[in-house]
Every structure is written in C-alpha cells, then in structure tokens.
Amino acid sequence: MIDEDTARRVLGKALSLGGDFAELFVERRHGCALRMEEEKVEDSSSGSEAGAGVRVMRGESVAYAYTNDIGEASLLETAGVAAAASRGGGDSAVSLEKPLARLPVLMEHPVELDIDEFPRAEKIELLRRADQAAREAGPYVAQVVVMLADSRQEVFVANSLGEMASDLRVRVRLVVQVVAARDGEIQTGHETPGMLGGYELFRTFPPEEAGRAAALQALTMLEARPAPSGPMAVVIANGTGGVLFHEACGHSLEADAVFKQASVFAGKLGERVASPLVSAYDDATLVNRWGSFCYDDEGSRAERTPLIEEGVLRNFINDRRRSLRDGLPPTGNGRRQSYRFIPIPRMTNTYIERGTAKREEIIADTPLGLYALKLGGGEVNPVTGDFIFAVTEGYMIRGGEVAEPVKGATLIGNGPRVLLDIDAVADDLDFDTGMCGKEGQAVPVCTGQPTLRVREMVVGGTTEVM
C-alpha cells in the first residue's frame, strides 16, 4: 500500500519535533452487509474505506492524528499534526536510525472462498437457509433476523524501530436472532458462527444449524420458569461460557489496566490466582479463528500467550506501549478497531484450557445447582473484579441431572474469587465468536472454555430456590 520511502518520510516528519517512537498505520477495508428479517432482504449494503493514522509517543504521552486521505501529502500533514500535538519535551528532531525492514508477509489463515469471488446471490441464499431452518424449528417462532457480514481488511504498519509489516484479514460472520412468542410470553435466542477466512465457513457451520440452534434456544426458554435467586453451584457449559473468563479475568489482565493499578491482578505475576485445574491462554495464532491475525495492529507477530498455568499467573496482555515502557516482550495484542483509533492491549482468542473430567460426571456430581448452557453479555469492573452475566439459556441441576429450564437468571460474582472456586474442568473445549468493546473500540474475538463447575456463585433471579 505504501512504499518504504514514503513511510520513512512520514515517520521522519512525525519525529521532527522529538519523541521516543513514531508509527504509521494505513488501512483499506471493504465488505458487504446483508440482513434478512420477515423473510425479506431489507439490507443489501457494501462499502469501502481507507485511512491512515500517525502516532507519536513521548514518555507516557501519546499523540495521534488520522486522515481519510492516504496520499503522501496528506500523510505528511497528519504526521505534522501528531508531531505538534506531542510537543511537550522539546522540539529537536529525532532521526530515524534504523533502515526500514519489511517483515515477511505471512499467509497462515488460508482463504478458500474469497468474499469478492463468492456470488452475491449465493450470499442471499445463505440468509434464506438460516431463516427457513429457524422458522421450521417450531410453531412459536415469531421473528427471525439473519445478518451476514464479510470484510477484507489490508493493514500496513511502519515504525521508527525499523519494522514494516503488512497483514490481510478476510472475515465472514453470520448472526441469527430468533424471537419466539406464546400467550404474551416473548423469548429470544441467537447464534453467531464466524471465522478469519472466507465462505468456506459454511461448510463447517451450515447456516441451517445456526438457524435451528438459535430457534431452539428461544423455544426452550418459552418453557422456562423464572430463575431462582441466591448462592448455588454453577456448571458453565463449553463454548459461550468462555465469555465469563474474557470479561471477568481477561480485561483485568490487559496491561493498561495493570499499569494503572486499576486491575485486581496488578503485582500478582508468579502468584497463584486460580485453582490448579485452571490454565488459560490468549492465542491469535489459532488457524482461521475469528479473533486471529498474522501481525497485530502495531506490526507485532501474533502469539500464543500463557496467561495462567495450573493456577499461576504467568503473563499480562501487552501492547507496544507497555512493552517499550516496561521492557516486556510484546505479546501481539496491540489492536485497534480501525485507523481512527489508538491501539490498546486487547484480547484475541482467549480460552481456558481443557481438563480431564467428563461433562456428564461433573453434572452427576452436582446435587443442586444451575447449568448455564448459554451466556449472553456481561460486564465487569476491572478494579474490583465484580461482574455480572446474563444466562440466556439455563437449566436447574437436581440430584445430579439436568432438570427444568429457567429464564431471567444472571450470574454475579467476582473474577478472582471464581477462578479460585473452579472445582472441576471437563475435556470438551469449544469456542464462540464475539465483538469485544473497550474504550469505544470493537474488535473481533473468540472466547473458549470447556464445561466447568464453580463451587458457588450468586444467581440473580426472581424466585426462591425450591
């Protein structure tokens, strides 16, 4: 996208008034978004975008400026704005000492059916297939929304350390939302298969399956009773359960929160923070996973980062800024939503590693508790670790067996305490896709988890436990 000489001139301009580090990020992106509701294609949209951002760091301060125009004149002007904005410690130019060296272009996430070659009519057909399967799943399906989005993002990063990296990311994701209604009672279900790759996604995840799964969730919840409230054992099913670790622990492991002492895990590297049954990783190298890439948005290599190993805290989730300031190796977690944003430490594919137990054994060993099959969104206060999660599909466990479905349950607790309270981990690791929001930036992530049991959590519901 950008040649070496242009990059050099822009970085030189960025450091013309001083600074410790400068970076140029250039991006082009295009893709389409389709939406079907009421069996009608109501959104048929596509768009393209180009932009570049220049960052200058000086000590703990960061200045950033971006533009939609990626011609050299505009890049130089943008670099000038960033340079002027960072002017706090003098104005003597810093020269680029190292020549720029292009890092190898990597193709670790093959794309078989590219988004630009896959016919639009066939994309519409995928919507129909998901929609029909959902509508045929049961008599009370009232509404189905199916959204299909694909994107092709090219990024280029050059920095004053002499690194130059490019990455190409093709992504496809389907979102199915189903509303079921009966006698004034309304319930919802959703399913979201996605991958870093092309339309081969639907060979592995046929749209019918996503449609059916979302519908069954909504239909099941129509039968559900109000959830009980109070403390009890909770078995969290594999797949979506990973969002709990992501929210309640992952965000507190991000280096910016740790640096600000705004994290419950600050200062605890090397200490035991979880049950010995728990190992957790952040891994952007998982082939074709929704949250993967070859280079992050700062040009660092994707990594598999051990966060917790057998209960001991091993690493934080780092970006370039913290690794430069604190002398830590970058972990390939510097990400940004687009050229419009400053990169910050973000998760990629974050998961709790599989254990050795069997799901059936864990349930059989639970006299009374909640089986959280699907979690919705949640929120956490990284400073205290307090979190809450909506259980979108849940069942009571009675006498070691899965019993009646319950609705309106939430899980409430404290991240560090839950980690210590995990007393069983199964061998059925599975992943789910999501968009993670932080400081107004959304990035694609996977969350993963095997079935596991937490000794006790507070379930927020509307009835007493029977």
Using alpha carbons only, how large is the chain's radius of gyration in Å? 24
Residues 211-230 interacting with another protein (rule: CB under 8 A): 227, 229-230
Residues 229-248 interacting with another protein (rule: CB under 8 A): 229-231
Q: Which is nearer to another protein, 48 or 92 (CB)?
A: 48
Residues 5-64 interacting with another protein (rule: CB under 8 A): 32, 34, 37-51, 59-64
C-alpha to C-alpha distance for 317 and 159, rounded to whole angstroms = 21
Cβ contacts of 42 within 8 Å, gap of 6 or more: 35, 36
Q: Which is nearer to another protein, 64 or 156 (CB)?
A: 64
**Under rule CB under 8 A, how many of the chain's residues touch another protein?**
81
Residues 354-413 interacting with another protein (rule: CB under 8 A): 376-381, 383-384, 386-390, 392, 407-410, 412-413
Of 66-74, 233-241, 280-288, 443-451, the segment contacting another protein by CB under 8 A is 66-74
Q: Which is nearer to another protein, 263 or 285 (CB)?
A: 263
Q: Which is nearer to another protein, 82 or 294 (CB)?
A: 82
Pick the binder of another protein from 15, 21, 79, 86 (CB under 8 A). 86
What SS3 state is found at 51? strand
Residues 110-129 interacting with another protein (rule: CB under 8 A): 120-121, 124
C-alpha to C-alpha distance for 144 and 304, rounded to whole angstroms = 38
Regarding 68 and contact with another protein (CB under 8 A), the answer is: yes
Token readout for 420 is: 């210590």
Taking alpha carbons only, the member of 240, 270, 254, 274 closest to residue 414 is 274
Regarding 139 and contact with another protein (CB under 8 A), the answer is: no
Exposure letters 255-271 (e unless 16+ CB within 10 A, then b): bbbbbeeebbbbebeee
* Shortest distance, position 176 Cβ to another protein, whole Å: 14
* Shortest distance, position 395 Cβ to another protein, whole Å: 16
Regarding 89 and contact with another protein (CB under 8 A), the answer is: no
* Shortest distance, position 80 Cβ to another protein, whole Å: 11
In a 10 Å sphere around its CB, with 0-12 CB exposed, 13-18 middle and 19+ buried, how is residue 168 labelled? Answer: middle
What SS3 state is found at 416? helix
Q: In Å, what is the CA distance from 113 to each residue of 109, 118, 284?
A: 12, 6, 22
Q: Which is nearer to another protein, 177 or 300 (CB)?
A: 177
* Shortest distance, position 233 Cβ to another protein, whole Å: 14
Pick the binder of another protein from 181, 324, 420, 435 (CB under 8 A). 181
Q: Which is nearer to another protein, 40 or 203 (CB)?
A: 40
Rounded to 5°, the CA angle 381-382-383 comes to 90
Residues 280-339 interacting with another protein (rule: CB under 8 A): none
C-alpha to C-alpha distance for 403 and 368, rounded to whole angstroms = 10
Q: Which residue has the tokens 């436990």?
A: 465
* Shortest distance, position 340 Cβ to another protein, whole Å: 6
* Shortest distance, position 106 Cβ to another protein, whole Å: 27
C-alpha to C-alpha distance for 226 and 463, rounded to whole angstroms = 7
Q: Which is nearer to another protein, 161 or 435 (CB)?
A: 435
Q: Which is nearer to another protein, 92 or 261 (CB)?
A: 261
Q: Which is nearer to another protein, 97 or 464 (CB)?
A: 464
Cβ contacts of 193 within 8 Å, gap of 6 or more: 173, 174, 201, 202, 205, 210, 433
